[in-house]
A and B are shown apart, each in its own frame.
Chain A
Amino acid sequence: MTLLQVKGLQVRFAAPGSGPFGINRQWVKAVNGVSLSLTTGEVLGLVGESGSGKSTLGRAILRLTEVSAGQILFDGVDMAQGKRIDIERLRHETAMIFQDPYTALNPRMSIGDTLAEVLRVRCAIPASLIRQRVDELLTLVGLRPELADRKPGSLSGGQCQRVGIARALAIEPRLIIADECVAALDVSIQGQIINLLLELRQRMNLAILFIAHDLAIVRRLCDRVAVMYLGEIVEEGPTEAVFSSPRHPYTVALIQSIPHIDPTRPLLDATLPGEPPSPLNLPSGCAFHPRCRYAQPICAKTPPPIRDINGHRYSCVLGEPLF
């Protein structure tokens, strides 16, 4: 069942303009016509370089950022035009996990109180049952219930991230948006959090939008993956199809840049020259063409066609697989 469907979503921010009183105002197109869908129980990975608009897209879906155009259908209701009551419902059924576990929690509140607050405000649970539910949530994410009286400062990064996940799960959401939720953690702890998400997904049939820049983790965790570049999704499809036969030159470069633990594999020469251009001034035609080694004259003129091979979609003039 399709839980979330995003159609042609655009988010733009005003950049300080030049001229008197900033009269020549410019707009940053952070998300530029993105479409994607997510079914119940599915994990969709969203990858791309910093500044590609991954986080903005995640926040826009939860209406934490103003949407400029497009539709966000959650359960068939368009949240982009949603009334206050619709957005209330959206936030009852969706939750977000943030990158930095320390700053996402209130340092002056014990983690038990943090969880209790969510339960009291969102779930209308009788006060007498709250303590019990807090203990259940902590156990669910693998923390000892005794930790409920501790403040975030006395917990480790991995423990704080588990609290962040417990808080997201408190409202029993149907959709979780996890924004780089393991990027700040050590590898040994990263694994624990990823395993927890895998387990919870199975147990609770959660849909997860997993925003990350670590492709190795995405490959392990996600059913499908979408690659973003400068506010657009350039390739999207089943994880294995995208990783084993990437079609878009940008995806190829991303996959080749993953540092591999096999010491006999040499470091490749710069897989992708340069850095993403400013989103203030997007290149014409295909936004990737200035960095693309396969660029043809037509790439600078017209946006590339969207091709679809058994649900593996990509937008590029090249028809043949690259490797």
Chain B
Amino acid sequence: MKNRSATKNRIGRKLKRYWPLYVMLLPGAVYLIINNYLPMFGLMIAFKKVNYEVGIFRSDWVGLSNFKFIFATNDAFVMFRNTFLYNLAFIILGNSFALIVAIALDTVRKRFLKNTAQVIILLPYLLSMVIVTYVVFAFLSPGNGFVNNSLLAPLGMDPVEWYNDPRPWPVILTIVYLWMNFGYTSILYYSTLIGIDKSLYEAAVMDGAGVLKQITYVTLPCMKNTMIIMIILAVGRICYTDFGLFYQVPMHSGMLYSTTQTIDTFVYRALLEQNSIGRSAAAGFLQSVLGFILVMAANALVSRFDKESALI
């Protein structure tokens, strides 16, 4: 009896001391519940046939039929293939290019050039996908584009109907992605690079190391952890793509689906353009669940390399 009232007393004292902190947490917690937790439960839509008359909650369960629906056509194969392959290309090319840029930035000694470059390479990252679409259009517009008129025509080549031909898009989208994102990744790597102890380089030079030897024996080993973490975390997000890059930049041209459709664009189109909730929900469900498994696996891997950098 005495013990219980003592515990009660302690909790009471704690509450009295900490209640303002819990009040502060409240608005954010409500937002996370609405924005993140309710949709998690909403994933069950993938197993239902939504009927607005009775509401989503009371709609009939239909088992796996929504999933059978997307796997019955080529849709599932195309969107999963595109999502994985694009991400793979972005991870490999994006990280190696950013590393080269970071080394180049470190090499250049002219202060002015170094600083200007650091400011300017981040510019593309600041643009919205809509503006990027305008930029890409200025290059690829079939009638007035820079590529057809100023590059292909002088070489005597025929103009290309860029927005109707799916073949060049894997290259185009990879270039656009790299253009937008290399600055961000490079600056990140550069900030690790300038942290490398200078005496390591001095020691290497004493041993007769040239530039390439310094890169392979000092720079790369020092960068290894940062790079591995960046890559693993990116692999954890391999089910997700930038919706704008794959939807808006190709101007949602139907002719390009075979090389521009990813899970995100499929989910959007099925939901809001074709009003096919079942297919959309099924694809979204696979993305969420697969994405979760991959993120957890990636995190487990990261924490083996470096406990500090893992999310949990």
A, B bound: no
Binding site for B on A (CB under 8 A): none
Q: Which residues does B use to contact A, with CB under 8 Å?
A: none
